């Protein structure tokens, strides 16, 4: 039986592979932590470190990839970027942001015709570019179970002027 592997040997190889992966992950994570520019003040803890991507299918069927978290290229920042979805209906733009662990009184919103700025004291920050112009004065927001919903009324588009001409 020199050329045939025993059943137990296969599991030993799989276990060794997982240990190699775990060691590599630990090396990468330690490297990431060492690379963070802003060290915490004495007595202050580092983290939590949150970073990721969300992928949604856009209106033309193409995927849209968005980053979120608190670990941009420059190093750890206090505020993290919440996971945000922007949905558009006929009359409004709906912005949904996941912001767990925040009290409603900490949330500050600022809207212009083109953007929505979301802040929560030293926890979250995101500047959302809106797909269409909106009327900021008509915005309504609610926060429940860690989810912020902001409804923004679309600004009416200028209707094309002119007269319809029939072709004979």
Closest of 134, 32, 23, 39 to residue 88, by C-alpha: 134
37 inside domain: no
pLDDT beyond 90 at 93: yes
93 inside domain: yes
Q: Average pLDDT, whole number, for the chain?
A: 79
Number of domains in the chain: 1
Q: Is the pTM of this model over 0.85?
A: no
Q: What is the mean pLDDT of residues 114-128?
A: 90
What is the rounded CA–CA span in Å between residue 114 and residue 69?
A: 23
- List the CATH number of the domain containing 86: 2.60.40.790
69 inside domain: no
Q: What is the mean pLDDT of residues 40-55?
A: 61
Closest of 47, 69, 164 to residue 125, by C-alpha: 69
166 inside domain: no
148 inside domain: yes
pLDDT beyond 80 at 15: yes
- DSSP-derived secondary structure letter, 110: E
pLDDT tens digits along 54-85: 777 777 777 776 666 655 555 545 567 888 99
Partners of 69 in beta bridges: 51, 81
126 inside domain: yes
Q: Quote the domain boundaries for residue 111.
A: 78-154
pLDDT beyond 70 at 127: yes
Distances (CA, A) of 22 to 16, 17, 26, 28, 33: 10, 9, 6, 10, 16
Q: What is the mean pLDDT of residues 150-161?
A: 82
120 inside domain: yes
Binning pLDDT at 50, 70 and 90, where does residue 37 land? very low
What is the rounded CA–CA span in Å between residue 71 and residue 56?
A: 21
- The Cβ of residue 71 has, within 10 Å, a number of other Cβ atoms equal to 19
Q: What is the mean pLDDT of residues 26-54?
A: 61
Q: What percent of the chain has pLDDT over 70?
A: 69
- DSSP-derived secondary structure letter, 78: S
pLDDT of residue 166: 83
pLDDT of residue 87: 92
Our separate counts of H helices and E strands in the chain read: 1, 9
Closest of 71, 66, 21, 25 to residue 46, by C-alpha: 71
Query: With contact defined as beta carbons under 8 Å apart, do 70 and 124 qualify?
Result: no
What is the rounded CA–CA span in Å between residue 79 and residue 108?
A: 13
50 inside domain: no
């Amino acid at each position: 039986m020199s050329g045939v592997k025993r059943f137990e040997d296969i599991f030993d190889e799989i276990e060794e592979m997982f240990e190699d992966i775990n060691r590599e992950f630990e090396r990468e994570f330690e490297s990431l932590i060492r690379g963070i520019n802003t060290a915490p003040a004495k007595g202050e803890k580092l983290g939590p470190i949150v970073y990721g991507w969300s992928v949604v299918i856009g209106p033309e069927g193409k995927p849209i990839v968005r980053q979120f978290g608190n670990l941009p290229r420059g190093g750890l920042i206090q505020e993290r970027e919440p996971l945000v979805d922007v949905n558009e209906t006929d009359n409004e733009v709906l912005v949904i942001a996941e912001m767990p662990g925040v009290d409603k009184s900490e949330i500050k919103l600022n809207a212009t015709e083109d953007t929505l700025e979301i802040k929560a004291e030293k926890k979250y920050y995101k500047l959302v570019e809106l797909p269409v112009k909106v009327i900021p004065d008509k915005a309504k927001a609610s926060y429940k179970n860690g989810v912020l919903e902001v409804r923004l009324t679309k600004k009416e588009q200028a209707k094309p002027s002119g007269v319809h001409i029939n072709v004979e």
